């Protein structure tokens, strides 16, 4: 916790242009406490859990498990800080948020390595996507802090109070940024709970927040598993819950707070349809298919996990796709050549394997390239399922892994019907040369985000969120401010 009790991790086979040699050692403390009221503290529970590296099973650190009493302390600290924080001139709040963004940039390399170590994602993704986008999110909302009167003309905007935020393990730092930045810009104080398999970058963010001189108690970070999250949800002095994670837990949270005055936003699962028309630039589309499903091992709520290819080009696209799959490198997340890293946890690997068995037993034809997987750790090769239909469970249910179902279609109406035949409504992709088709589909597809001739592109200025079982509320852009304010 104090830096003296830390271990060093040597990073091999990863060069970073701007980084001096001396930074090749990343410090991870052996033990982390809870970040409450501006400092790291022992949990009253005295309990710790381990976070491991999913690529080899090694323990990275012990992390405090916050009990109900610990969560209560964090909420009290947030409540105490609320008056001061919400009363600051808005431009002062913006300056603090800007400073957090700058500090993330300064420590980007360290954060990227830790993100890949703790969660298993390829370093190329942590370095080029997760960490820069996290910094951008803080920059973007720092800019909104003193412009709320322009965002909501003629209305007097007030913060809600104390926000409880619960985040998942697939984009640990980025999800922390998505949650914290708009809450802070609008004058709320926060208790954030990271996921139990990936708490480390949130704890590094706690250090950054401490170093940014943000007033004590404005952000509190309590680590732990589901029970810690449930304590936060139940706490009577929390005004708002923002949750990203499974649909099952989302529904449970909704039930728990029903009848209270707590506000809620839920960002849950998905089963994105990725639609390839015969007039698309096919090589580009094949790259898009690969990125849509294998980005972050498929641990992505908006992953393009259902592929629909127009029948006239289906054989060609599938053969190109198989060739591309054969060239994907599955392995060490810290190797800059890795395309698919480690599956985040044993539990998630079991879920994925279970779905692969279900897919086979339902009659799907599996295709997996012949790749050598590392002996230790959690791994899954890129997987295609051909010959599947709408009623198959692997087409309907979220797998959250590198598994793609492939279906064909003849007409635009048929594919709209198939794409919308899902309990989820988060994302979709459309690949075509015709702008008219894109506009038609963006209207017809029941998805919060529709990408055209691209996939998995994120930007702080764009709202993100779903329909149906994918949840409600939007994050990002002007829309992302709304879940954290009330009008006077
Ligand atoms: P989860 O929903 O259990 O975990 C997400 C977060 O919720 C974690 O921080 C966890 O500690 C917390 N949590 C768990 N139970 C809670 C409770 N009762 N009250 C409050 N907080 C609670 O997700 P899990 O089990 O890790 O993954 C299961 C499936 O969920 C995945 O296979 C995937 O389908 C989906 N998922 C979707 C995500 C998304 O981005 N929408 C992210 C993570 C998982
Ligand atoms: Mg871990």
Per residue in 77-131, pLDDT tens?
A: 999 999 999 999 999 999 999 999 999 999 999 999 999 999 999 999 999 999 9
Whether the per-residue pLDDT at 168 is higher than 90: the answer is yes
Torsions phi, psi of 136, nearest 5? -60, -35
Whether the per-residue pLDDT at 344 is higher than 50: the answer is yes
> Catalytic pick from 115, 125, 267, 398?
267
Torsions phi, psi of 213, nearest 5? 65, 20
CB 126 within 8 A of CB 117: no
- 115 CA to middle of ligand 2, Å? 9
Q: Please report the atom of ligand 1 found closest to the CA of residue 167.
A: 9
Mean pLDDT of 338-356: 98
pLDDT category at 9 given cuts 50, 70, 90 is: low
Q: How far does Cα 204 stand from its chain's mean position?
A: 17
How confident is the prediction for the chain on average, in pLDDT?
Answer: 95
Tokens standing for residue 199: 């708490």
Residues 6+ apart with CB under 8 A from 305: 270, 271, 272, 292, 293, 298, 398, 399, 403, 404, 405
Q: Which of 66, 69, 50, 48 is nearest to 58 (CA)?
A: 50
DSSP secondary structure letter of residue 128: I
> Catalytic pick from 110, 196, 301, 469?
301
Tokens standing for residue 220: 């509190």
Mean pLDDT of 44-68: 97
Q: What does the pLDDT look like over 132-152, one tens digit per residue?
A: 999 999 999 999 999 999 999
pLDDT category at 5 given cuts 50, 70, 90 is: low
Who lines ligand 1 at CB under 6 A? Answer: 166-168, 170, 193, 195-196, 225-226, 229-230, 233, 244-246, 249, 252-253, 267-269, 301, 348, 351, 398, 400
Residues 6+ apart with CB under 8 A from 4: none
Q: Which of 74, 105, 30 is nearest to 192 (CA)?
A: 74
> Which residues share a beta bridge with 265?
242
DSSP secondary structure letter of residue 170: S
DSSP secondary structure letter of residue 25: E
The tokens 């393990």 sit on which residue?
A: 169
How far apart CA 117 and CA 178 sit, in angstroms, is 21
Task: Residue 73: count other Cβ atoms within 10 Å of its Cβ.
Answer: 20
Is 207 labeled as catalytic in the residue annotation? Answer: no
CB 205 within 8 A of CB 17: no
Is 301 labeled as catalytic in the residue annotation? Answer: yes
């Amino acid at each position: 916790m104090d830096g003296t009790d830390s271990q060093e991790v040597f990073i091999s086979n990863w060069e970073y242009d701007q980084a001096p040699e001396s930074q090749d050692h990343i410090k991870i403390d052996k033990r982390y406490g809870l970040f409450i009221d501006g400092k790291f503290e022992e949990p009253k529970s005295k309990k710790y859990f381990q976070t491991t590296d999913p690529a080899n099973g090694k323990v990275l650190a012990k992390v405090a498990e916050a009990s109900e009493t610990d969560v209560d302390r964090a909420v009290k600290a947030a409540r105490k800080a609320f008056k001061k924080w919400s009363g600051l001139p808005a431009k002062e709040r913006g300056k603090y948020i800007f400073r957090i963004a700058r500090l993330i940039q300064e420590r980007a390399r360290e954060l990227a390595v830790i993100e890949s170590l703790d969660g298993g994602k390829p370093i190329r993704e942590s370095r080029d996507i997760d960490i820069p986008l996290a910094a951008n999110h803080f920059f973007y909302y720092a800019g909104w802090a003193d412009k709320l009167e322009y965002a909501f003309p003629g209305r007097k905007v007030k913060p809600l109070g104390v926000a409880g935020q619960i985040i998942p393990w697939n984009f640990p730092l980025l999800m922390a940024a998505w949650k914290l930045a708009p809450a802070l810009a609008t004058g709320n104080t926060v208790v954030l709970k990271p996921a139990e398999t990936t708490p480390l970058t949130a704890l590094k963010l706690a250090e950054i927040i401490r170093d940014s001189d943000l007033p004590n108690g404005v952000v509190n970070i309590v680590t732990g598993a589901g029970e810690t999250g449930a304590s936060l949800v139940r706490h009577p002095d929390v005004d708002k819950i923002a949750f990203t994670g499974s649909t099952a837990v989302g529904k449970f949270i909704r039930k728990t707070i029903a009848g209270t005055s707590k506000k809620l936003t839920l960002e849950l699962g998905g089963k994105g349809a990725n639609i390839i028309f015969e007039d698309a630039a096919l090589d580009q589309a094949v790259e898009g298919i690969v990125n849509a499903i294998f980005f972050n091992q498929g641990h992505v709520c908006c992953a393009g996990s259902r592929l629909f290819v127009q029948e006239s080009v289906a054989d060609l696209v599938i053969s190109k796709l198989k060739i591309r799959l054969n060239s994907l490198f599955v392995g060490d997340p810290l190797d800059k050549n890795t395309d698919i890293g480690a599956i985040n946890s044993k539990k998630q690997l079991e879920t994925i394997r279970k779905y692969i068995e279900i897919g086979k037993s339902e009659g799907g034809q599996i295709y997996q390239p012949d790749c050598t997987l590392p002996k230790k750790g959690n791994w899954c090769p890129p997987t295609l399922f051909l010959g599947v239909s709408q009623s198959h469970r692997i087409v309907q249910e979220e797998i959250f892994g590198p598994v793609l179902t492939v279906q064909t279609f003849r007409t635009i109406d048929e594919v709209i019907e198939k794409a919308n035949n899902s309990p989820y409504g988060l994302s979709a992709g459309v690949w075509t040369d015709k702008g008219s088709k894109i506009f038609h589909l963006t209207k017809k597809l029941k998805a919060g985000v529709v990408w055209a001739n691209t996939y998995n592109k994120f930007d702080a200025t764009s709202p993100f969120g779903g329909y149906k079982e994918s949840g409600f509320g939007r994050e990002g852009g002007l829309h992302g401010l709304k879940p954290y304010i009330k009008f006077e």
